[in-house]
Chain A
Amino acid sequence: MKAPAGQVAVAAGVTAIGVLILGGSFFLPTGGGYAQVGPGVVPRAVGIVLLLLGVFLFREVFTGGFRGVDEEAELGLPMDWKAFAWLSGGIIAYGLLIEHLGFIFASTILFVMVARGFNSRRWLLNAVTGLILASAVFAMFNYGLNLTLPAGVLKGVLP
């Protein structure tokens, strides 16, 4: 039986994180103090264990796949990459735009993009709903709770 590619990648990822942490632990002192246990000891242990767990994952992958995971059923549910892209784009756009456009518009854009990812094409309705929701949250936080969210392009326009 061929090993499922996705599971191979996951096992490789876990192993890689183990290697990264194990490697990093060599830059940290492991001795010193009364305990004779420095800040490097636990990272070294965590790195070694993750590395081992990665190896065990590989073993499962090549001996019939992850135990208890029905890979065929998973593959039977088709992956909707368009939806995935809309959601990913929405969150990344939010991170890029929040400091420039401000909370209200960045959130509205996020709202519209996520709704589109869930197959809603009612752009105007979603834009208006997002705008109202974001404005309400902004007002509650900035005027009610005194926690400041960035006003962005509305700086000076809003009180």
Chain B
Amino acid sequence: MDVWAQLMQGFSVALTTQNLLFCLAGCALGTAVGVLPGVGPAVTVALLLPITTKVDASGALIMFAGIYYGAMYGGSTTSILLNTPGESATIITAMEGNQMAKRGRAGPALATSAIGSFFAGTIATIGLTFLSPLVVELGLKFGPPEYFALMVLAFTTVSAVLGESTLRGLVSLFLGLAIGLVGIDNQTGQARFAFDIPQLLDGIEVVTVAVGLFAVGETLYFASKLNQIDEKLESIKGSIWMKAEDWKRSIGPWIRGTLIGFPFGTIPAGGAEIPTFLSYAIEKKLTKHPEEFGKGAIEGVAGPEAANNASSTGTMVPLLTLGLPTSATAAILLSAFQQYGLQPGPLLFESNAPLVWGLIASFYIGNVMLLVLNLPLVGLWVKLLQIPRPQLYAGILVFATMGVYGMRQSPFDVFLLYVIGLAGFLMRRFGFPTAPVVVGMILGPLAEEQMRRSLSISEGSWSIFVTHGISAVLLGITVLVLLAPLVMALLKKKRAVAG
């Protein structure tokens, strides 16, 4: 079947009343948690995982995906009006956008970011539609050694390339892998690191880890370290619509932002931070108004906003076609698939085509919904920012503890949540990234399975990973990614000594 027929079939799934409502709920919820500081899409999807027992797969996944890309729209609102990035990928928006708001141009800043997000989200979804079948075809040729090598590469890029320190990124990743080890080994039934505690035999739930690191850890850090800092909420004065000149200055950055963001999302390098920084740097070079940069240039909002949306949609390509999550939220989406006994990957496109294409079709619909939710209705979300901090964080923790306790009605999980929250606090305090922990704990057991399967095929010979061409290349790239910074540092030192 060709792409069009598949996509049309997808729309017939996504356009049912039930799924439209799930899509709307996801987009609205995503915008809300994107706007609110202290809670993001990863925590929200994790807390909602229990509904997978009540709702069918297409509805739940459409909603979860809506939360994921909806949060990108919402995050920019907070960045512009509060100068505190709602999401980490909107740091750049916080710089230029907030300056625009300070000069009474909050309206056009919000408009260029919402329309830019819509433009980028839609183009990226078209990219996703046509790129996925190609990647699926490639993926079908992959065996266990290739998958193992691909996962090792994803581990490395997620932990070592992003963030300021390869070492601390790797520590986070291996802590995640260690968490993934806890529980019963699914191939031999052997209990590992459960210490005879019955609650640990089932393994540590992703909900507990995500909520502990992202909600409890962040709240502890904010309360004890940052609460002294004052925030000022800018108001929206005048019209929110853009003038002709704003349009003219936004279109170029939108296009360039999309072109930078989408490829970055699709390669297993994850994260929307790098493309937003790149887009900002390019716009700063190309602009005809360099004097405005740093003081509220519309290009500096339009480009990065398009880039982060395109990249978050791009992340869906490796997730859906190869089962490779490259961000914390994507990892939790993967575990949502697993709740239904589904494994994203090339086979899913064959066995569950209506589900996958329904999900892809819902991205087109979701982006339209988000444009409406975030432009004419922006005032509604601004009200959320007026909730006083004490009550906001108290409410977040009520939901966090409820979600973790409610999973299996065990106080043990609440104490575990606190311990992981403490770890999250320490990681934040000492500059360790948290996303690799979640990716490691979810992807780790899958990688181990592929590794042991490969070794079954080769009857225990490790050479299988280098005798298979694709696997050897992927592992080679991994080594390069890890060693490149070291070599560069050494060369620099040598040159410094020589000079």
Q: Does B239 contact A (CB under 8 A)?
A: no
A159–B406 Cα gap in the complex (Å)? Answer: 20
Question: Which residues of the partner chain B approach A64 to less than 8 Å between Cβ atoms?
Answer: none
Q: A21-B178, A80-B227, A111-B395 are in contact. Are A56 and B167 (CB under 8 A)?
A: yes
Residue-by-residue, is B165-193 near A (CB-CB < 8 Å gives 1, otherwise 0)? 10110110011011001000101101011
Q: Is the interface of A mostly helix, strand, loop or mixed?
A: helix
Question: Which residues of the partner chain A approach B406 to less than 8 Å between Cβ atoms?
Answer: 141, 147, 149
Question: Which residues of the partner chain B approach A134 to less than 8 Å between Cβ atoms?
Answer: 398
Partner of B414, one of A29, A95, A129: A95
Q: A35-B456, A39-B190 are in contact. Are A91 and B223 (CB under 8 A)?
A: no
A87 close to B398 (CB less than 8 A): no
A34 close to B401 (CB less than 8 A): no
A38–B455 Cα gap in the complex (Å)? Answer: 11
A17–B182 Cα gap in the complex (Å)? Answer: 13
A97–B31 Cα gap in the complex (Å)? Answer: 34
Partner of A90, one of B51, B389, B391, B397: B397
Closest residue of B by beta carbon distance from A7: B430
A39 close to B185 (CB less than 8 A): yes
Residue-by-residue, is B239-280 near A (CB-CB < 8 Å gives 1, otherwise 0)? 000000000000000000000000000000000000000000
Partner of B228, one of A69, A77, A81, A137: A77
Residue-by-residue, is A101-139 near B (CB-CB < 8 Å gives 1, otherwise 0)? 001000100111011111110000010011001100100
Q: Does B405 contact A (CB under 8 A)?
A: yes
CB distance from A49 to the nearest CB of B (A): 5
Q: Does B399 contact A (CB under 8 A)?
A: yes
Question: Which residues of the partner chain A approach B192 to less than 8 Å between Cβ atoms?
Answer: 24, 28, 39, 43
A107 close to B401 (CB less than 8 A): yes
* Residue in B165, B402, B426, B455 with the greatest tally of chain A CB atoms within 10 Å: B402
The tally of residues in B whose CB lies under 8 Å from a CB in A reads 62
Q: A10-B426, A74-B429, A118-B393 are in contact. Are A91 and B414 (CB under 8 A)?
A: yes
A111 close to B224 (CB less than 8 A): no
CB distance from A127 to the nearest CB of B (A): 11
A78–B54 Cα gap in the complex (Å)? Answer: 46
Residue-by-residue, is B419-436 near A (CB-CB < 8 Å gives 1, otherwise 0)? 001000010011100000
Question: Which residues of the partner chain B approach A42 to less than 8 Å between Cβ atoms?
Answer: 177, 181, 448, 451
Q: A56-B167, A115-B390 are in contact. Are A80 and B225 (CB under 8 A)?
A: yes
5 contacting pairs across A/B (C-beta < 8 A): A35-B455, A87-B397, A107-B402, A114-B219, A120-B388
B residues at A contact (CB < 8 Å): 50-51, 54, 164-165, 167-168, 170-171, 174-175, 177-178, 181, 185, 187-188, 190, 192-193, 216, 219-220, 223-228, 388-391, 393-395, 397-399, 401-402, 405-406, 409, 411, 414-415, 417-418, 421, 426, 429-431, 448, 451-453, 455-456, 459-460
